[in-house]
Amino acid sequence: MTPLNDMIVRLLWAALLGSAIGVERAWHRRPAGLRTGLCVAVGAAFFTILSIEIARATGDASTTRIASNIVQGIGFLGAGVILRDRGGVTGLTTAATIFVVAAMGMGAGAGLFRASGFACLLVLFALVFLLYVENWIGLKPRYMLFRISSDPSVDLVSEVHQCFSSLGIALDNFQVSMAGEKNLIQFDADVSHRKQERIFAGLTRPGVTVEMLPVERQQQA
């Protein structure tokens, strides 16, 4: 039987790894934060310890299926954080982190401290550093509805076309209308987070309001 002190160390290591991922999720205001990460990792670690100890006590190696069933159970938990949001699906990254936190917990429960710790570092690298890379390169564009309102004396049609053309962005459903005493320009476009910031900074000024809202792309018949 594995000594109790060894079991405690494994559970504490799992708690540390799960908490590290949970803090990152909470910092970015995502679901499945600190407590969830800790509980998932400790639960997976404890199930792994139980499967090892039961197998030793009974001599039945099939009890290791307890560990394999962790993967199925975590799949249901991860599915709960995947949501259909306007313009796309959210929660996939958080669901993936729940999955890998469970794997790190299993590694900790099996006594694979270095391997589980290295896996934690890789995940934190992906969540923190690669996020900035994605935003910088513009790998994750979103389909957005733009509403630009201005005073009647300001004509922004040509400026809007020039701004989006310089960024290589095509405009869909372009409309110009009046909203009360304001000119209203409305259209849809695929834009990355970085380009959203440049558009907002380039068009916003006194008398001009820029709104950006995620929308569903209309399917062509």
pLDDT of amino acid 53: 86
Contact (CB, 8 A) for 63 and 69: no
Phi, then psi, of 98 in degrees rounded to 5: -60, -40
d(CA 7, CA 108): 10
pLDDT of amino acid 83: 61
pLDDT of amino acid 19: 94
Average pLDDT score, the chain: 83
Pick the more confident residue, 213 or 65: 213
Mean pLDDT of 155-178: 88
User: Could you state, in order of their start, the residue ranges of all structural domains in the chain?
Assistant: 4-137, 142-214
Tell me, what amino acid is at 148?
Answer: I
Contact (CB, 8 A) for 108 and 14: yes
pLDDT of amino acid 220: 46
Q: Which residues of 199-220 are buried (b: 16+ CB within 10 A; e: fewer)?
A: beebbeeeebebebeeeeeeee
Mind listing the pLDDT tens digit for each residue in 44-89?
999 999 888 888 888 777 666 777 778 777 877 777 776 655 445 5
Provide the sign of the torsion angle of the four alpha carbons 100, 104, 109, 110, taken in this order: positive
pLDDT of amino acid 200: 85
Q: 57: number of CA atoms within 13 Å, CB side?
A: 9
* DSSP for residue 64: G
pLDDT of amino acid 138: 60
pLDDT of amino acid 72: 76
The fold adopted by the segment(s) 142-214 is Alpha-Beta Plaits (3.30.70)
State how far the alpha carbon of 110 is from the alpha carbons of 4, 7, 50, 160, 166, in Å: 14, 9, 10, 59, 55
pLDDT of amino acid 179: 79
Mind listing the pLDDT tens digit for each residue in 74-128?
877 777 776 655 445 567 788 889 999 999 999 999 999 999 999 999 999 988 8
